[in-house]
Chain A
């Protein structure tokens, strides 16, 4: 046999991997083993997966969130570090600074309280993020995040109902109490703000790059133009595309019926069938439109406006609220069970309800602030500004996606709230459209 310098791994590995020893007798043996195994599986059958709907009346994870528990935590003090996990493009940024100070509002918090904040923009979709932290929540582990930001919808509802969030301490949020806008207090998905405090609100509409698109896009139908084949993006989460489709079909999504959903599904299926679609995406649509892979896409208002106003290479972006109307949602800060620093987390969340801080946030990320006084400051700053700043702030102060007029407001719809069986029907109908 030839001696060769083949690394012993490959040759031997090949042999081993290809070795087969099966014969009819073996097959019978396996069958026998299989039968024995089935009885084993019936033992395993006793295992289900945890998840019974917790009572919505009180914290289920032990006493986390109770008054006594909070008293103990406060007595311990707020700790040195808060892990704040959020969506990208959501916190203000000073582009001239690298490192500490690059996020002025957070930096100000650290300066004031001495607590460090590790900020991660790791959330790209509610579904995926929730599925990722769920195992830890189920087994009572620390997820590694003190603050997470979740959009109103199925995932947030599930988090609340299953008792995976720590009930907030009403005494640790003076700014919230003083300055939070009425519309953001006591939302339907979280009565009394027991578990959440609004971060920002935004709209889902359509974005396009005027570098490649000459026409005005005003509806999903416009997106189906063959001219853009291979460069159209749509959002693949549990709510946005469905809501916009229904709005365009003339249905009020908030009161829609399963028949309406079917019509919406058929409409969305056209994106698959006509071959114009490049991809169903989550947050990644923003990378797509920045890379110029996508020319037209469903988008979240502030993402596009922020790019357009602060990055010269993206000045050709446009964000529009479709003529038929748009979806409006609220992203909410909340604290998952077993968080390491709940007191610090509340302090951070409450920090952002100060009008000045809220204004700084909106002036960067161009989303709707839950703090009316903050919004007023934005308007004032826009008037007082000069030069380049003026252009930026004026655009924000007058853009309907940030400061909607009453006419626009009448065209903004919330997501459909789903209960019980509806969730499964909805998901079974729409999920296959997103992965085809």
Chain B
């Protein structure tokens, strides 16, 4: 317990403390309790914050759309092979996610397997590129997070008693109606959990933006800014302030989210 507090809470406070300091890398930073650091960080980086939120939202929606049918199928039709399918779903995790992202930058490279072939057939103009666009970044984040979306959906779908669906059918519901009125509402706790588990890492992502976006204008996210401040510009207070703002946003957002939708429904999953 103490360890957790030590290693988590204290760094958080260190970050808070650092975010209130001023100075430069050359002259050193002094604690000045400059709360304006927070407003400065926000006003300078508002665009990135919005972009991250937007990207996170898109990723979550896309991931949900992609994941739901898969989770549904495995839960209801998987039969004896459910574990096998789940195992296959988790296979990509045996490769480090940096390498997976790098693999995508490989696949999507201008002259690589996908684009190169399409270009040589003539379906795409020679100057077309996917890397360095927001599309690539979103695609990358979605790919990395979609297993996290599937799992909570699967867990909650799996627990739905199929006899409920049968009952609906007995009452003359079509397959689609049965889904809409019975299965989907019952799976909502899983959906809520999936949204949380997908959107938070998506908003805070920066590896995909760095590797697949390549710091092209319009692709960088908040994470990239924080990383640049710490690991390049050596402007630790600004980086700390921004990270703190991000953290606060997420916690507040998650709390509001949980409140609005009722915390009990989440624990049902």
So, do A and B actually touch in the complex, CB under 8 Å? yes
Contacts of A231 in B (CB 8 A): 127, 129
Contacts of B29 in A (CB 8 A): 48-49, 51
Which of B152, B220, B232 is in CB contact (< 8 Å) with A14? Answer: B152
Give A53-78 as 1s and 0s: 1 = Cβ < 8 Å from B's Cβ atoms. Answer: 10000000000000000000000000
- Closest Cβ of chain B to A2, distance in Å, is 7
Contacts of B233 in A (CB 8 A): 127, 131, 427, 431
Nearest-neighbor residue (CB-CB) of B156 within chain A: A14
Contacts of B109 in A (CB 8 A): 291, 293
Q: B249 at interface (Cβ–Cβ under 8 A)? A: no
Q: A236 at interface (Cβ–Cβ under 8 A)? A: yes
Distance, CA A237 to CA B31, complexed state (A): 29
**B152 contacts A18, C-beta separation under 8 Å:** yes
Contacts of B224 in A (CB 8 A): 435
| A10 with B151, Cβ < 8 A, contacts A48-B30, A48-B31 known | yes
Distance, CA A436 to CA B216, complexed state (A): 8
Contact size range, B: 35 or more
Contacts of A125 in B (CB 8 A): 232
**B111 contacts A14, C-beta separation under 8 Å:** no
Nearest-neighbor residue (CB-CB) of A275 within chain B: B217
Give B4-48 as 1s and 0s: 1 = Cβ < 8 Å from A's Cβ atoms. Answer: 000001000110111011011111111101000000000010010
Q: B118 at interface (Cβ–Cβ under 8 A)? A: no
Contacts of A46 in B (CB 8 A): 31
Contacts of A50 in B (CB 8 A): 28
Which of B26, B196, B216 is in CB contact (< 8 Å) with A158? Answer: B26
Nearest-neighbor residue (CB-CB) of A19 within chain B: B267
Q: B56 at interface (Cβ–Cβ under 8 A)? A: no
Most buried by A among B9, B14, B127, B216: B216
Distance, CA A301 to CA B18, complexed state (A): 41
**A49 contacts B18, C-beta separation under 8 Å:** yes
Contacts of A132 in B (CB 8 A): 231
Distance, CA A37 to CA B16, complexed state (A): 11
Q: Which of A216-266 contact B (CB under 8 A)?
A: 228-231, 236
Distance, CA A281 to CA B255, complexed state (A): 39
**B132 contacts A48, C-beta separation under 8 Å:** no
**B25 contacts A128, C-beta separation under 8 Å:** no
Contact size range, A: 35 or more
Which of A53, A158, A281, A431 is in CB contact (< 8 Å) with B215? Answer: A281
Which of A2, A14, A229, A281 is in CB contact (< 8 Å) with B269? Answer: A14
- Closest Cβ of chain B to A31, distance in Å, is 13
| A432 with B44, Cβ < 8 A, contacts A45-B33, A127-B232 known | yes
- Closest Cβ of chain B to A27, distance in Å, is 9
Contacts of B82 in A (CB 8 A): 4-6
Q: A176 at interface (Cβ–Cβ under 8 A)? A: no
Q: B155 at interface (Cβ–Cβ under 8 A)? A: yes
**Contacts between chains A and B (CB distance < 8 A), count:** 154
Which of A41, A52, A280 is in CB contact (< 8 Å) with B27? Answer: A52
**B129 contacts A278, C-beta separation under 8 Å:** yes
- Closest Cβ of chain A to B103, distance in Å, is 16
- Closest Cβ of chain A to B93, distance in Å, is 11
Contacts of A151 in B (CB 8 A): none
Q: A20 at interface (Cβ–Cβ under 8 A)? A: yes
Give A1-34 as 1s and 0s: 1 = Cβ < 8 Å from B's Cβ atoms. Answer: 1101111001100110111101000000000000
**A49 contacts B17, C-beta separation under 8 Å:** no
- Closest Cβ of chain B to A138, distance in Å, is 10
Q: B168 at interface (Cβ–Cβ under 8 A)? A: no
Q: Which of A406-426 contact B (CB under 8 A)?
A: 423-424
| A272 with B193, Cβ < 8 A, contacts A10-B86, A14-B155, A45-B20 known | no
Contacts of A10 in B (CB 8 A): 86, 151, 155
**A20 contacts B258, C-beta separation under 8 Å:** yes
Distance, CA A46 to CA B33, complexed state (A): 11
Give A159-183 as 1s and 0s: 1 = Cβ < 8 Å from B's Cβ atoms. Answer: 0011000000000000000000000
Q: A277 at interface (Cβ–Cβ under 8 A)? A: yes
Contacts of B25 in A (CB 8 A): 51, 134, 158
Distance, CA A427 to CA B235, complexed state (A): 10
| A41 with B17, Cβ < 8 A, contacts A53-B27, A292-B111 known | yes
Q: A119 at interface (Cβ–Cβ under 8 A)? A: no
Q: Which of A101-136 contact B (CB under 8 A)?
A: 125, 127-128, 130-132, 134
Contacts of B120 in A (CB 8 A): none
Contacts of B235 in A (CB 8 A): 427
Q: Which of B207-230 contact A (CB under 8 A)?
A: 214-218, 220, 224-225, 228, 230
- Closest Cβ of chain A to B130, distance in Å, is 10
Q: Which of B222-248 contact A (CB under 8 A)?
A: 224-225, 228, 230-236
Distance, CA A134 to CA B236, complexed state (A): 13
| A53 with B158, Cβ < 8 A, contacts A37-B9, A278-B214 known | no
Distance, CA A436 to CA B33, complexed state (A): 28
Give B189-210 as 1s and 0s: 1 = Cβ < 8 Å from A's Cβ atoms. Answer: 0000100110000000000000
Distance, CA A47 to CA B29, complexed state (A): 9
Nearest-neighbor residue (CB-CB) of A44 within chain B: B17
Give B135-158 as 1s and 0s: 1 = Cβ < 8 Å from A's Cβ atoms. Answer: 000000000000000011001001
**B215 contacts A161, C-beta separation under 8 Å:** no
Contacts of B266 in A (CB 8 A): 18, 20
Contacts of B216 in A (CB 8 A): 277-279
Give B100-121 as 1s and 0s: 1 = Cβ < 8 Å from A's Cβ atoms. Answer: 0000000001110000000000
Q: A40 at interface (Cβ–Cβ under 8 A)? A: yes
| A48 with B234, Cβ < 8 A, contacts A17-B197, A162-B26 known | no
- Closest Cβ of chain B to A331, distance in Å, is 19
Q: A90 at interface (Cβ–Cβ under 8 A)? A: no
Can you pick out 12 interface pairs between chain A and chain B where the beta carbons lie within 8 Å of each other? Answer: A14-B152, A17-B193, A18-B152, A20-B266, A37-B9, A125-B232, A161-B26, A231-B129, A236-B215, A278-B132, A427-B235, A431-B233
